[in-house]
Amino acid sequence: MIPGLPWLLVHGVAAGVIAAPPGGEPRPLDVPAIDVRAKRRLDGTAATTTLDRAQLSEDALQDLPSVLDEAPSLRVSQLGGLGSFASVSVRGSSAEQVQVTLDGIPLNTADGGPVDLSLLSLGPLERVDIYRGMAPLDLGGSAIGGAVALQTREVRGAALELEAGGGSFGTRLARMWSSWGSRRGGVALAVDYLGSQGDFDYVDDGGTLFGGPATDDDTLVTRENADFNQISVLSRGHVSVGPIRFRSTNHFVARESGLPGLGLFPTRSARLETLRNISGASISTTELGPWRTTVTLTPWTSVSRLSFEDPLGELGLAVPEATRDRLWAIGARALLRSVFPIGEDDEQRVTMRLLGDYRHESFTPSSLGVTGRESARDSGTVGGELSWSHDDLGLELVVGARAEMTRNDVVARNVEPGEARFTDASHVEAATWRVAALWRHETGVSLRASAASSLRMPSLFELFGNTGAVLGNPTLGPERAIATDFGIAWSPDPYGTEERPIRLAAELFGFLSFAEDLIVLVQNGQAVAHAENVSSSRTAGVELGISLDSPWVGARLSGTFLDAINTSEIAAERGKSLPNRPRWKGFLRVEGRSRLGSNWGAFRLSSELETMDGNFVDAANSTLLEPRLWLGVGVGATLWEELDVSVDFKNVLGTTSQDVIGYPLPGFQAMASVRWQAFGASTRASGRGATHGSEGAP
């Protein structure tokens, strides 16, 4: 039993209820169609990708990091196999510069570090909206890299679905979701368990830069202390009363895992326990009055605890470590949207959007029973956006601005009563802006362009950290960036018949960004690192997406070329490639389908190919990770429209690789799962999977 699990589990189930979508059709391949007229209204002037429920469940034992890694311009870095820490960067950003939300609740924390994607189960998700290079006004503050918005499932009637699976390295999976109700009101519950031994084999090169499998110091060893067990419970409910709609979401996750350390220096006893619960609600109105005004209020709260044990001092600084870090946050967001028609036929419209967002966070570290310096942050964003659209011209123009503010405090707390207290504080204010344009043609072609400024506030650790070896800097300013992009998308009306449609889609975007005041740790003569705003960069690239969806075959292709250069004044780094940014990356999936008869279901056979250029792991470009090629194959069947079976073989070539130097990734893997729709419509959504550049405002 994970310590602390019973209390948090009861609290998580009682705090809210969630929806799960139904379904009963054989699942098609989920391809990234580019549909500028989609009913699911995203910001049509932005470069966006939507992954729907079908793509989130197309392979056995799929997880969120692997799904995101298939999208254009996204790069996921993982510290090992399934369940290990994973983060995402967009268009060459750092992982800290990407905003991640769950039903509008922010998951980025003030203490610093990127969001761990491995804590987020795919089971209860309806879709994932990806904003490349910008964050919409609805999500609060700006973001240099962009945003990943996770949306949980909607209730569409009574449904119950069960899934079980397993595979290589002692991996096991169990999922359940159920729902009851309608669009007027309903409740749902999703429970997900995932665990693994993680004991895959890898090549230990002895820490030498030369040689290969044939050298004397290279040995094949088994990854140790990489096991984990994770359970998550997501509940959701909604009810509509007149013009008011209320929705609640609660997500609880508990994970107990080993910390295997570097492949060169494996650990035996270092462990990490993670407990987190987030709760939120959304209170919104329908369109009211002649100006079709809607108001949405989103309050939320989050509490988490990280417990680290290192009894042998394998990961600490020569002494055994035991820490209990706690983070608590509360916030609220208000959004107003009004539409002002122009002209007799309302062929023109001006849409106004106003935002107010506030959050308070408190971070308390402790080590060996001694409570450390408590850090707190208050942050807020106010902003507005105006858009003008002309239906006859197919034109939309957007201009917007935000003011972002933070106040940070650190209070020294001591366990002995009566001892002195002192406070360090800093206050940061900044403004950001955005302009964008979209032109649509009835043939399905759209052109779009945008330019925006954005920022990332320094974390509490960067401001006030004091580990002896690393010192914070209360005078730090935010990281800033100016980015622009231009793209073309094509999504014509489906070919074929209504019963057997054939869909084609394509998109091509170019982007350019300049970032400055990037925060780095600069080492002084006493071997102490000090956080400073000293670095800058220039990033340019091209991203491509192509898709085909038909009753017989489906395919999707994504590709990214990236040129990310350090432009800082540091001589050893200037003109060098930014670390962990491969110049090119591509993904291809092809799936063939066949009916098994009118009463049996459907059969599918798929193949996936991922290729990535080598990339440097340090700012001086002295160490290079090798390019990699991953090949996967899968087979599956949907039987009687109730039972779905999937068997997938990943990395069948056994390619040895790393996302982060020193942390090996697994080789060949075999995974299988069985999903049973006990009752209700099939949860295999019949959508096309991924939508790039969807039109409209949320």
- Strand 658-660 vs strand 663-664: parallel, antiparallel, or unpaired? antiparallel
CA angle 249, 250, 256 (to 5 degrees): 150
- Both tokens assigned to 97: 């510069």
What integer pLDDT is reported at residue 681 of this predicted model? 54
- Both tokens assigned to 330: 């509360």
- Longest Cα–Cα distance of the chain, Å, equals 82
What number of other Cβ atoms are within 10 A of residue 615's Cβ?
22
**CB of 518 within 8 A of CB of 538?**
no
Contacts of 89 (CB under 8 A, 6+ apart): 74, 75, 77, 95, 97, 98, 145, 580, 581
Using one digit for the tens of pLDDT, what is the confidence trace for 342-399?
877 778 999 999 999 999 999 888 765 555 677 889 999 999 999 999 999 999 999 9
What integer pLDDT is reported at residue 463 of this predicted model? 83
- The H or E element spanning position 670 is strand 669-679
pTM over 0.85: yes
CA distance 403 to 433: 9
C-alpha dihedral sign at 23, 25, 31, 34: negative
End-to-end CA distance of the chain: 41
What integer pLDDT is reported at residue 40 of this predicted model? 45
Q: What are the CA-CA distances from residue 535 to residues 149, 227, 268, 479, 622 (Å)? A: 29, 38, 38, 9, 19
CA distance 410 to 464: 7
What integer pLDDT is reported at residue 404 of this predicted model? 95
CA distance 229 to 192: 11
Contacts of 396 (CB under 8 A, 6+ apart): 44, 45, 387, 388, 389, 390, 437, 438, 439, 440
What integer pLDDT is reported at residue 96 of this predicted model? 92
- Strand 146-152 vs strand 98-102: parallel, antiparallel, or unpaired? parallel
Report phi then psi at 54, rounded to 5: -65, -45
What integer pLDDT is reported at residue 89 of this predicted model? 94
Residue with tokens 């109730």: 642
Convert 679-692 into a string of H (helix), E (strand) and C (coil).
ECCECCCCCCEEEE
Burial (CB < 10 A; 0-12, 13-18, 19+), residue 638, is buried
**CB of 122 within 8 A of CB of 140?**
no
**CB of 482 within 8 A of CB of 511?**
no
What integer pLDDT is reported at residue 216 of this predicted model? 59
Question: Where are the chain's structural domains?
Answer: 5-692
**CB of 593 within 8 A of CB of 602?**
yes
Residue with tokens 């110091």: 217
Task: State the Cα torsion 627-76-520-530 to the nearest 10°.
Answer: -110
What integer pLDDT is reported at residue 207 of this predicted model? 65
Give the bridge partners for 549, in sequence order: 503, 554
**CB of 565 within 8 A of CB of 577?**
yes
What integer pLDDT is reported at residue 686 of this predicted model? 38
Residue with tokens 């988490």: 304
Using one digit for the tens of pLDDT, what is the confidence trace for 293-326?
999 999 999 999 999 888 888 875 544 567 888 8
Q: Is 92 left (phi over 0), alpha (psi -120 to 50) or beta?
A: left
Q: Which residues of the chain have pLDDT under 70?
A: 1-41, 207-217, 316-321, 367-372, 411-424, 466-470, 523-528, 598-599, 681-698
Residue 583 amino acid letter = R
CA 39 to chain centroid? 23
Give one DSSP letter per residue of 239-294, joined into a string: EEETTEEEEEEEEEEEEEEE----SSS--SS-EEEEEEEEEEEEEEE--BTTTTBE
Contacts of 416 (CB under 8 A, 6+ apart): none
Contacts of 581 (CB under 8 A, 6+ apart): 75, 89, 92, 539, 562, 564, 615
> What b/e readout covers 331-364, taking b as 16+ CB neighbours within 10 angstroms?
bebbbbbbbeeeeeeeebbebebebebbbbbbbb
Edge-to-edge strands, sheet with 689-692: 31-33, 689-692, 48-52, 125-132, 146-152, 98-102, 105-106
What integer pLDDT is reported at residue 321 of this predicted model? 67
CA distance 81 to 567: 34
CA distance 297 to 19: 20
- The H or E element spanning position 462 is helix 460-464
CA angle 265, 266, 272 (to 5 degrees): 125
**CB of 472 within 8 A of CB of 484?**
no
What integer pLDDT is reported at residue 370 of this predicted model? 56
Report phi then psi at 67, rounded to 5: -70, -45
What integer pLDDT is reported at residue 215 of this predicted model? 54
Q: What is the CATH number of domain 5-692?
A: 2.40.170.20
- Report which DSSP code applies to 466: B
Using one digit for the tens of pLDDT, what is the confidence trace for 198-233?
999 988 777 665 444 545 567 888 999 999 999 999
